[in-house]
Amino acid sequence: MIDIRYTQHGNHITSLEISGHAGSAESGKDLVCAAVSGITFGLLNALDELTDVKKMTVGDNLIHVKVDNPTAESDLLLAAGIIQLKTVQQQNQRFIKIKKMEV
C-alpha cells in the first residue's frame, strides 16, 4: 500500500509524505507504483526549479517534502500534484491511501 499524507495549514500545503509500495504487480511491472513515482518526481523537480522549497528528502521507500515558507507557487504545484495522485487513487483504491491532515 502506498501511503500519502499531506498537511494543510489554512490555505497552504506545508508538507507531503509518500511511503510504501503499491504491490499491484511484481517489481518492475507495477503500473500503480510507476504512476505515483512519475507524478512525485515531476513534482519534486518542479518544486526544486520553480520555488524556494529545498527541504525534500528521497530515501528508500520514503519521500518527504517540508514547506517552511509557503508561496502561491508552492501551493499550486503541491495542490496539482495531490490532484494527480488522487486521480490515480480513484482507479486503484486498494493500493493507495491519501490522508489530509489540517493544522
pLDDT tens per residue across span 58-100: 998 999 999 999 999 999 999 999 999 999 999 999 999 999 9
Distance, CA of 16 to CA of 26 (rounded, Å): 26
- Residue type at 63 in one-letter notation: I
Among 22, 20, 68, 21, smallest CA distance to 47 is for 68
Model pTM?
A: 0.94
The angle at the Cα of 32, spanning 80 to 22, to the nearest 5 degrees, equals: 110
DSSP code of residue 71: -
The answer, yes or no, to whether residue 56 has pLDDT greater than 90, is yes
| Residue 27 banded pLDDT, cuts 50, 70, 90 | confident
Domain CATH number, residue 58: 3.30.70.1490
Structural domains counted in the chain: 1
Q: Look up the domain containing 60 and give its range.
A: 2-102
